[in-house]
Structure 1
């Protein structure tokens, strides 16, 4: 369960984000809202805090903020590791694993078969089912149910398609090293037939993993649905290492057709910045969405880490948190459909009645100013800034004077960046100190940022969620200042509100 107060031995345990009690986690799996509860399953090493012994961990939440950890849900054995996958509520008991009056939850996961098993070295798709709402699971005796004879076939996301082509289950998985999304259909979750493939396209700098496919109304119009295909890749992100990209188009029940592809085939390195990224930071990977979220909301969680240094981050006894849950919507931006992301969850139990620090109309001229009364370790920061002639301006978070995590905007370059070279403990891996950059443009002449600061992370939602940047940080406990700055000219902070979380 997440802890709001870090101990000396557990300095970086998050207050707002989920982390396992004393083990390793990576990809979120099987996200589903069922019987009034959000279920988060995830890649878990139940025996250590580094990658290995892959099984499915399990946590639940009523509000997407307060999480309760449960015993390991689906455990690896001498035959297989349990790699990523998804869960559906089989309402009509198409699988036969439950009854008409008590339909089951069905998990579809990748069996990574071990040396000496009947499928030595292969990855194939298998089933497990739960008859108690997701707390205990039984593996299907006839696993695997879909085997392509491939060592890189993984990460099935199951959706229910109801459209012009009929009504059936669709599996969206990947051939990771071929940069291909592969689609299959089934009426019972056991027997699968191929539909189509998508890719290679856009970013192909690393293996493709953890796909998702879902419809969203464009600009809130339910009569104008578009389909979104997300694909995570490692490495090959816009700022190195792990990342997630998305395509927008149409799915007719057989084929996904992208309307936003920039590069067919293998990527053009010179065009990396033109691709559509779920997040521009270093620490947002394996993002997938919840099944059956209330009110047809599309909610997504990702693993907050990067494979470049994932096993080395300085946390103990746990290692790796999840991101905040995000609500995903689709809007027309500059004439093109683009995803908008906002943090979601009930934070009221963790905060006071309102902002604990606020200011308006502060002019900065080539200076850095530490804000008295703004210090804290777990915060939400809302800021609107209008540039005058400053070359760069922004904030320094979890700081000590001029040292800390710098979030800067450079209007002449149309960029926002996070500089964590002096963010605290950065020497545990050579790839960690970084300056990570994303494109951004002013809206009505100003820049608006909402930033969630936790004991080991910053999540930035810029221009009301048009641009997001997620970064791990490991500041010293005494680095709690918030500072604002301008370089090479003047900028005006129109408003700044900080909510402290307990």
Structure 2
């Protein structure tokens, strides 16, 4: 990542008259991480790629830490989500099931939450848990960033949140200008290998090795004038034998070997794998390859800085599969679009054995905006001086861009391309703001940004030849559909997609999926079921009601259990209110509903209470879709899940938030609070044993609260990431025990009270770590506390 790139977009956009200074990017806060600062978009703006990834809004540059983890491709990238220029780098995040259909996700690494300079870096999936960082069932994603040294961050929830290892301290210190760590697994030597660009005595990379991703040893340095920024190191087979490839940000590379400590090559003069403008802000820069792809492919994406619109700057090249082939001057990389492009293909038309002349146009009558063209020309008997395609043509003969082969110069699009076996091949990907050209079985590739005019009068294509003829061996035109709109950005759910709306406008916000409706609006998954447990979180903003819909058809007709601002929880179906429960419902507060169906019996629980508040029977709809409903206004829904997961706690009536936001995920109770937040049961006690599992996802502290009033005032035993377990009450820290509390780790806390004596155990130790006395509160409620943090609580018991 080039540091002076911050100046580049200002120059480009100002020159175009498009730059409008926006809000300066700023650091975030841990309690509301992860941030999702994006305004809704249909991704249909002029010049917005329909199958090239761009950030939902804001500035993007280098790809970072590309991995395939836990069933998804993860694309992280350098990002300013608050403006169109380089400023205060975040790591943006998008996911895809297939490398084609991308979904914008919340911010992955956020300044103010994650320490250090969050510049470019790499990532891996630690499937063997060599780091020991794994805490659950998912494989950890481990990423590397910072400048003049390397810091480590990791995620145990498939990229939804990241923690800083060792509080973000640099695990490698480099006493020189350095950045852009990239990591790969070296199977031959059973170790991890890192390359980091540094300017120690000139351009080059420092090479480090590690058995566990955490402790790194300097192994060697490879110096080369061409090796500037964003290095990559990976293996590709050549004739069945693995070779090591070392790359730079400007797409230069050399092929050689790695002996476990040093990289060697007998051909030190670099080749270039892409012939676009390979500088920061150009059309191909800072490429990275995906780690741990399921089929072993090496797939690459790069930054295209030349694309921008009114709400975003920059995009990524379409994913390309890399391979190595022999050439007269040594091994050469080939780049070909990933096969998953086929998922976007719509109607097509083909030609074979046609003569292309200076008159006529085989593509006449085709109108297209985003498409693919493959063509092979036999040039052995050609007389045409030039031939190729005019793209986005108009009736007056003008075109937005021409892709021309010049026979005399031996160039395609102005770049060298010699015929192979007397033929010239072209493979064009035409998007709204992007043009990628491949040829000669991937030996030739050019990435470009082109502002194509997508208006109806500018969608023609012309196949031409000048000053003679050329034989077209074969050609295929294929229309390509959009890759956007198939995933859920912020809605956490185990329900299958695709989802669809029937009524209302549904958009992604930081708290989940938000609806705006004038009447009934339904948002429905593709998951169906009969007998099931279904639960979710609901918040009325301005809406009259919001609820869980189940046993429904595609229109939403089925059952809905909702919260209603009139002061009821209601179970209804079209034409009938089946049952109601009177209870105050406040706007702006999150409520958790759980529904269980057993044949015609339907039960509804509110806010994690032990007993159902509705127990009714109705046999109208025996099965159907799961979804949500919002009525007459704005509401937000989140954590829509079927199955047994949820908040496991002692029997109680409905829980009540005293402050903070409290939701229920499959992993347990999730709390966020800017300062002190409390979530309280209606169970009270004097002398007892109270215990549970607690985790600070990000932030300061969480704890078990007991002998408390309705506002949370009472005792709390907290785990605090400053490195302590603390027993406190309002106005006083009663006792403190030093303990290395780490973000993202789960700790078991047990409290025992006997009169004014309070004992606290940590992680099932034999002896209490706190044994104190305090007589301020003799009895009160049980609950959970969060302080300036994202937290999780689970398996709460009282004995």
Query: Which TM-score bucket, shorter chain as reference?
Result: 0.7 to 0.9
1:175 corresponds in structure 2 to: 198
Partners of 1:470 and 1:297 lie apart in 2 by: 21
Indicate how the Cα distance of structure 1 residues 477 and 6 shifts in structure 2: closer, same or farther if over 3 A, else same. farther
1:96 corresponds in structure 2 to: 132
Partners of 1:476 and 1:248 lie apart in 2 by: 41
State the structure with more CA Rg. 2
Q: List per-residue Cα deviations over 1:198-246 (Å, max 9, x = no partner).
A: 1215x46xxx111111121113x1xx221111111xxxxxxxxxx3111
Deviation at 1:370, TM superposition (A): 7.3
1:194 corresponds in structure 2 to: 218
1:328 corresponds in structure 2 to: 322
Partners of 1:350 and 1:198 lie apart in 2 by: 42
Deviation at 1:186, TM superposition (A): 1.7
1:219-234 equivalent positions in 2, closer than 5 A: 219=239, 221=240, 224-232=241-249
SS at match of 1:464: helix
Deviation at 1:332, TM superposition (A): 1.4
1:416 corresponds in structure 2 to: 412
Cα pair 2:350 2:477 within 8 Å, conserved: yes
Count residues in correspondence: 429
Q: Does 126-135 or 89-98 show the bigger shift?
A: 89-98
TM-score w.r.t. length of structure 2: 0.51
Cα pair 1:216 1:226 within 8 Å, conserved: yes
Partners of 1:407 and 1:396 lie apart in 2 by: 6
1:240 corresponds in structure 2 to: none
1:238 corresponds in structure 2 to: none
Partners of 1:4 and 1:344 lie apart in 2 by: 26
Deviation at 1:59, TM superposition (A): 0.5
Q: Does 283-292 or 210-219 show the bigger shift?
A: 210-219
Deviation at 1:367, TM superposition (A): 5.0
2:605 corresponds in structure 1 to: none
Q: List per-residue Cα deviations over 1:244-286 (Å, max 9, x = no partner).
A: 1111111111111123322xxxxxxxxxxxx411200121111
2:236 to 171, 192, 216: 216
Deviation at 1:302, TM superposition (A): 0.8
1:271 corresponds in structure 2 to: none
1:252 corresponds in structure 2 to: 259
Indicate how the Cα distance of structure 1 residues 471 and 218 shifts in structure 2: closer, same or farther if over 3 A, else same. same
2:416 corresponds in structure 1 to: 439
User: Are residue 383 (structure 1) and residue 359 (structure 2) matched?
Assistant: no
TM-score w.r.t. length of structure 1: 0.80
Cα pair 2:366 2:460 within 8 Å, conserved: yes
Q: CA RMSD in A?
A: 2.3
1:500 corresponds in structure 2 to: 479
Q: List per-residue Cα deviations over 1:460-486 (Å, max 9, x = no partner).
A: 110111100110000222321111222
User: Are residue 277 (structure 1) and residue 272 (structure 2) matched?
Assistant: yes
SS at match of 1:320: strand
Indicate how the Cα distance of structure 1 residues 154 and 442 shifts in structure 2: closer, same or farther if over 3 A, else same. same
Q: Which has the higher contact order (CA 8 A, sep 6+)?
A: 1
User: Are residue 319 (structure 1) and residue 336 (structure 2) matched?
Assistant: no
Cα pair 2:393 2:399 within 8 Å, conserved: yes
Partners of 1:259 and 1:135 lie apart in 2 by: 44
Cα pair 1:65 1:345 within 8 Å, conserved: no
1:19 to 54, 77, 80: 54
Question: 5+ unaligned residues in a row in structure 2: which ranges?
Answer: 1-37, 278-282, 482-799
User: Are residue 343 (structure 1) and residue 363 (structure 2) matched?
Assistant: no
Partners of 1:469 and 1:458 lie apart in 2 by: 8
Deviation at 1:100, TM superposition (A): 8.9
Partners of 2:210 and 2:184 lie apart in 1 by: 11
SS at match of 1:66: coil
User: Are residue 132 (structure 1) and residue 184 (structure 2) matched?
Assistant: no
Partners of 2:325 and 2:338 lie apart in 1 by: 18
Cα pair 1:64 1:345 within 8 Å, conserved: no
Deviation at 1:382, TM superposition (A): 0.6
Indicate how the Cα distance of structure 1 residues 106 and 69 shifts in structure 2: closer, same or farther if over 3 A, else same. same
1:83 corresponds in structure 2 to: 119
Indicate how the Cα distance of structure 1 residues 251 and 491 shifts in structure 2: closer, same or farther if over 3 A, else same. same
User: Are residue 52 (structure 1) and residue 87 (structure 2) matched?
Assistant: yes
Cα pair 2:61 2:314 within 8 Å, conserved: yes
1:119 corresponds in structure 2 to: none
